[in-house]
Amino acid sequence: MLKDQQYLRIPGPTPIPPSVQRSMAQPMVGHRASETAELIRRIRPGLKKVFGTEQDVMIFAGSGTSGLEAAVVNTVREGDEVIVAVTGAFGRRFVKILDAYGVTVHEIETEWGHSVKPEEIREALKKNPESKAVFATFCETSTGVLNPVAELAQAVRDESDALFIVDGVSCIGGVESKMDQWGIDILVTGSQKAMMLPGGLMFAACSERAWKVIEANPRRGFYLDFTKYRDNLKKDSTPFTPATSLLYGLEQTIQLIEEEGFDQVIARHGLMKDMTRAAFKAHGIPLLASDEDASPTVTAVRPDDFEAAALRKVLKEDFNLIVAGGQEHLKDAIFRIGHMGYASPGDILQTLALIEIGILKSGKDIELGKGVAAAQQIYLGKGDPQ
C-alpha cells in the first residue's frame, strides 16, 4: 500500500482539488494590500450564490464552530429564552454554546437519525412564546440527516417573531440553499466540507431582521462581532487578519462551482447519495436515516451483524481508506461516509468496492460487487434510488 495515497471519505475535512492547492501556494501578500481587497471583491458574488442571498456573506478566520458561537453572541443575551432542535451532536453543540452564555434553552430532541418536523417547531413556540430565536442544523453531520429548513423557517414565521438561525457547516456548497426565499435569518458554514478547502474559514450571512436584533444588542463580543465584519466588508476588507492563502483557494473553489454549474453540483451530490444508499440496501445493511431525511453530503450506516469499528480498521490498514465513526452513544454503532465537495460518482464506486471487501474481511459473508452493481444502476438511471 502506498502510504501517501489516502482516500479520505469522512464528512469533513474533505479532499482538496489540485487547482485549489496550487492557488493556495501563491506567495503571501499583505493582508491590507490592494491585492487582498481585490481578491475579496472577486469572491463576494460567488458566496452569495452558494448561500442563496442578496445579503453580504461575511468571511472570518475561524472554524465552523466559531460561526455557531458568533450566531449566539450577536443575537441573544444572558437570561433570554431560545429553542434548539437537537437532532444529533451538532444540534447539541448549539445547546452547549448557549449554556455558556447563560441563555435558557428549550430543547426539541429527536431520535438520532430523524429530522425535526415543522409541527414540533410550532408546538415548541406555542409552549415558549418568549423565545428570541430558534436554532437548527441544516445537515446534522453526526447522523447524516438533512433537516427541512425551508419548512422549519416557515413554521417559525407562522408562530413568532423569533429569529431562525441555521448551522449549514456540513452541506452549504453541496445542497440547494435559498436563504432569502426561505426566510433563514442567520446562516453559517465552514470551509472544510462541501466548500473544498482546508479548515480555517467561516462564512456567515444575516437577514435584515437579524441585523436589527444584532444592532440592538449591546454585547456582541469582540472578535465575533458581526457588525465589524459587515462594515469592513463594504471596503472589501476584514476587521482582523484574514487567512489570505485560504482566500486564494476559495476564489478557485468558487470558480470550480461556477464552471460545473451550481445546479449540477447539487445534482451530483444527490446522485452520490443515491448511489451510496443503494449499495447498502442491496446488501440489506441498515442505514441510520430514512430516504426522506437523508443528506446528500454524508451517509450514516448502522450495521447489525458486523462491527463498524472493525470495518474501519480494515479499510485503513488495507487501503488507507478513511471513513468516519459515530459520535457520542453511536460511537461504535455506525460508520459515516462523506460524499461532498471534491468527490465524484467514480470516487463513490471505488469507495463502495473497497468497503465490500472490508465488510467481507470483517466477518460478514456478502456477495462482492452486489452493492457496486446497485450503485452503477443508479448512475445509469436504471435503479430505484428509493
Residues 6+ apart with CB under 8 A from 365: none
CB 7 within 8 A of CB 351: yes
Length of the chain: 386
Cα 369 to Cα 16, 117, 282, 313, 383: the distances in Å are 29, 37, 10, 21, 15
* Residue type (1 letter), 43: I
When computed from its CA atoms, the radius of gyration of the chain, rounded to whole angstroms, is: 21
Count each helix (H run) and each strand (E run) in the chain, helices first: 14, 13
Cα 308 to Cα 212, 301, 303, 342: the distances in Å are 48, 9, 7, 25
Provide the 8-state DSSP code for 310: H
The 3 state secondary structure assigned to 173-217 is CCECCCHHHHCCCEEEEECCCCCCCCCCEEEEEECHHHHHHHHHC
The torsion angles phi and psi of 137, rounded to 5 degrees, stand at -90, 145
Residue 4: Cβ-neighbour burial (10 angstroms; 0-12, 13-18, 19+): exposed
CB 338 within 8 A of CB 7: no
Cα 171 to Cα 193, 250, 270, 336, 341: the distances in Å are 7, 16, 12, 15, 9
Q: Is residue 336 a known part of a binding site?
A: yes
Is the Cα dihedral 37, 39, 45, 47 positive or negative? negative
Q: What are the binding residues?
A: 336
Q: What are the binding residues for substrate?
A: 336
